[in-house]
Structure 1
Amino acid sequence: MNVRDRLTGRARAAADAVLGTALAGLLAFVAYQIAHTWGGDYWQFGCAAGTVVCGLALARRRSRRWTAVAGLAVAAAAVLVATFADLPAEPGPAMTLALAVLVGSAVAELPALTAGAVAAGGLAVAAGSLLTGNLTQTVLPPVTMLNVAGWLGAVTIGLSSRLLAARRRTMAEDVRRHERLQLARELHDVVAHHVTGIVLQAQAAQVLARKQPQRLDGSLSGIEAAGSDALAATRRLVGLLREAGDPPTPGQESLADLVERFDGPAVHLRLPDDDDDEPAWPPEVASTVYRVVQESLTNVSRHAPHARSVQVTVTRQHDAVTVVIADDGPPASASPYRPCGFGLLGMRERLEALGGTLHAGPRPGNGWSVLATLPLPDKREVR
């Protein structure tokens, strides 16, 4: 479980704890008031029915559809029993709050048809409370006004949450589509890079066939290796594309330029030492490293304006590249929502499709860090 999932789980548990406390308090308060004004055991039925609906509200995440249906059924039964047995008006305050939670949750999460049916059922229960109220009054009974207000609040909040979720999905899809278009351009350039190498080696092989045929085998092996590289790189990039920017960016030199142009806290860049025995990064790897650093610096300028410095460290082992971007912003800038940005969403998709990983979260003490790992392709392997 990642940081975001843990934070979400804790937030939900805290919200349910607050809701449970509020429901229990309302149940106890209403039971006391009924016992004090009506006397006897009149409070028991309403308290029992309210407890059942409140329990369903707390268990709504197990099945939003069936908990909502069961809650509305219990509430409707409570209205009928209260009407014919001359009991206190139902649904009471605790049940009203629980029904609002069930209806709002269903409207926000369930398919449109089911959500509409649950909302209609909630309105029917709210209107049914008229049966238990004092119909001789010229205004609506208080219990009806309370239930109608609860229903309106639930539907309003549920619809707002539903529209917000739809908007976020649309924005996320736009980011993915933009990323795919950029990758499509990169695919063209990666293929051109490798095919150019194949053409040059093939031309050299023709010369060797005439002048030094004994060296032809080595040249043909080079062509085979270049073709394997082209095939592997193409497949890795095609794996990122589900449907039909900027051109790919070279590796370390462009990172230095990016850091120099950054308009924000001072950036300290550490790059791997040059090693003539190591092959150059494949274009798709270099471009991905660049984009991760670029997006991370953008997030620093947006979410950590009070940071004093940023450390960008790029290290290379034989089979992988690791990128760490860490800022020293104050704890207030380490918002739990920060890693959910759409830019990092696109980067995560790209890294995972290339076999890499992306982790983002608050640092111990203060600041934020982004850790990306990206495997380097085996030059001898055709994937």
Structure 2
Amino acid sequence: MPTDSPSARSAPKRGRAGRIRRRLAVASVLAVLVPIVLAKPDARAAALPLALTAALAVAAATLPRPGGRTTLGVAGAVVAAASLLVDLLYSGPFRLPAFWLPFEWLALLGLLFRAVRRLPDRWAGPVGGLIGLAALVLPLRFALRVPQGGAAWPVFGMLLSLLPVLAVAGAALYLRVLEVRRERAVDRARREQRLEVARGLHDFVAHEITGIVLEAQAGQLPGQESEETVALLRRLEEAGLRALDSMDEMVGALREPGGRGGGAGQDEPASAATTRRQGLADLPELVARFGATGSPRVTAEVAPGSAGRLSAEAETTAYAVVLEALTNIRRHAPQATEVTVRVAPGEAGGVELTVTDDADGPTGTPLPRRRAGAGGTGLAGLTARAAAHGGSVTAGPGTPSGWRVSCSLPGR
């Protein structure tokens, strides 16, 4: 029986929470407006702008969306401007502002937090500064109108409002920075995941597809015996199955529960795991598969004591270097007749490996009908991977002829 996804199950809860929040906002606005009725008849006209400004601030601070299509930035700017305008133009009894002032001040602090926390970068500063200014000077609406209050009341009111405004703005800015860091970490993880999948496609699938194409080209030559055709088809089947296995492993890594796949609805997808871990011990099998296709003849010389000197990640890189070199020989040096893979202990507990061929260079006949611009990034990517382990990859003409790919990796 199918089950609902977590996002589908949480949707009704979010809807109920939104309805409850809207009801609380409406109740708060009414609670701020009702006291107008209790004011003296001759003071109601003066109390009306105070109550309306406070109600507007409460609505903007509590409603999920301040009003229909009105954005938070527009609502915050309008509320702050209205509050500052009332500060300048109010001329009623000095006691009336004291009643609505706490409601409006708290609402401005809440609106300040939302603005600094949620608004886009270009609006967070200006709108947040305007709201903060409105909250900072709001106590002056009462303090400046107290008879015989002197300068002590305004100064005390400003200082009393300054600390909460700074604290709210600082807390919102801190959470905003954390959110930006989290988003950047998610972007980096997704980028690493894409790079990991690209490496898997390049290292394994592209290698097998290249072999399949070359085998198919060889099968089109005239004079094929039935036994050769059967062997050719068997090799094509095995290469195709290996390519499919690589694809299945990559898809499985992307879909694996627990966040490694980085699917929709996950906040922090981790980098996809390498689809397979192959190292120096797997080189003989790789060389045997490469040599089974016929020319060129390939030999592997692995010195005793080479295995186990590298970390698992460095061994995977070493295997990928050999795989890339052999694939390039297939693609670009079909005239090569002899290929040698050598692995020997290097300095500082590391490993030195080389892949050489006897062709004139990497400028042989490429695979036909390939898309222009395809490929060409394999060794560059491997150079970066080797450098991440403290090693290096070089490629150039061999001695006395041919082409040589060398890789040096330090020990674990």
TM-score, normalised to structure 1's length? Answer: 0.51
- What letter corresponds to residue 191 of structure 1 in structure 2? A
- What letter corresponds to residue 98 of structure 1 in structure 2? A
Q: Which residue of 1 aligns with 2:223?
A: 210
Q: Is 1:289 matched up with 2:252?
A: yes
**Which of 74, 81, 98 in structure 1 is aligned with 2:82?**
74
Q: Is 1:180 matched up with 2:194?
A: yes
Displacement of 1:38: 11
Alignment partner of 2:207: what SS?
A: helix
Structure 1's 340 and 69: CA in aligned 2 closer, same or farther, altered over 3 A?
same
What whole-Å deviation, never above 9, does each CA across 1:257-300 have from its counterpart, x for those lacking one?
A: xxxxxxxxxxxxxxxxxxxxxxx84522332114533x53x88x
Q: Is 1:7 matched up with 2:10?
A: yes
Displacement of 1:124: 2.3
Structure 1's 2 and 161: CA in aligned 2 closer, same or farther, altered over 3 A?
farther
Q: Which residue of 2 aligns with 1:60?
A: 66
1:143 and 1:24 map into 2 onto residues whose CA distance is: 29
Structure 1's 164 and 139: CA in aligned 2 closer, same or farther, altered over 3 A?
same
What whole-Å deviation, never above 9, does each CA across 1:313-368 have from its counterpart, x for those lacking one?
A: xxxxxxxxxxxxxxxxxxxxxxxxx9625237x67xxxxxxxxxxxxxxxxxxxxx
Structure 1's 51 and 116: CA in aligned 2 closer, same or farther, altered over 3 A?
same
For 1:215-254, list aligned pairs within 5 A: none
1:72 and 1:121 in contact (8 A); partners too? yes
**Which of 150, 156, 166 in structure 1 is aligned with 2:180?**
166
2:60 and 2:75 in contact (8 A); partners too? yes
- Matched length: 252
Structure 1's 125 and 93: CA in aligned 2 closer, same or farther, altered over 3 A?
same
Alignment partner of 1:340: what SS?
A: coil
2:190 and 2:5 map into 1 onto residues whose CA distance is: 21
1:141 and 1:15 map into 2 onto residues whose CA distance is: 40
1:23 and 1:141 map into 2 onto residues whose CA distance is: 35
2:50 and 2:168 map into 1 onto residues whose CA distance is: 22
Alignment partner of 2:269: what SS?
A: helix
1:38 and 1:134 map into 2 onto residues whose CA distance is: 24
Q: Which residue of 2 aligns with 1:129?
A: 138
Alignment partner of 2:143: what SS?
A: coil
Comparing 62-71 with 16-25, greater Cα deviation is found at 16-25
Structure 1's 174 and 12: CA in aligned 2 closer, same or farther, altered over 3 A?
farther
Percent of matched pairs sharing the same residue: 18
Structure 1's 28 and 290: CA in aligned 2 closer, same or farther, altered over 3 A?
closer
Alignment partner of 1:85: what SS?
A: coil
Q: Which structure has greater helix proportion?
A: 1
For 1:147-162, list aligned pairs within 5 A: 147-148=161-162, 150-162=164-176
What whole-Å deviation, never above 9, does each CA across 1:72-96 have from its counterpart, x for those lacking one?
A: 12211222243x2235237622222
Alignment partner of 1:210: what SS?
A: coil
1:100 and 1:151 in contact (8 A); partners too? yes
2:133 and 2:8 map into 1 onto residues whose CA distance is: 37
**Which of 343, 349, 353 in structure 1 is aligned with 2:269?**
343
**Which of 121, 132, 146 in structure 2 is aligned with 1:112?**
121
What whole-Å deviation, never above 9, does each CA across 1:155-214 have from its counterpart, x for those lacking one?
A: 1332123112201111111111211221221121111011112223333443xx11459x
Alignment partner of 1:342: what SS?
A: coil
Q: Which residue of 2 aligns with 1:99?
A: 108
TM-score, normalised to structure 2's length? Answer: 0.48
1:19 and 1:148 map into 2 onto residues whose CA distance is: 30
- What letter corresponds to residue 56 of structure 1 in structure 2? A
Q: Which residue of 2 aligns with 1:46?
A: 50
1:148 and 1:24 map into 2 onto residues whose CA distance is: 29
1:133 and 1:144 in contact (8 A); partners too? no
Comparing 86-95 with 180-189, greater Cα deviation is found at 86-95
For 1:216-365, list aligned pairs within 5 A: 281=244, 283-293=246-256, 295-296=257-258, 340-343=266-269
Displacement of 1:153: 4.3
Structure 1's 79 and 17: CA in aligned 2 closer, same or farther, altered over 3 A?
farther
1:172 and 1:342 in contact (8 A); partners too? yes
2:6 and 2:15 map into 1 onto residues whose CA distance is: 14
- What letter corresponds to residue 110 of structure 1 in structure 2? L
2:251 and 2:124 map into 1 onto residues whose CA distance is: 42
2:35 and 2:155 map into 1 onto residues whose CA distance is: 21
Structure 1's 150 and 212: CA in aligned 2 closer, same or farther, altered over 3 A?
same
- What letter corresponds to residue 52 of structure 1 in structure 2? L
Structure 1's 134 and 125: CA in aligned 2 closer, same or farther, altered over 3 A?
same
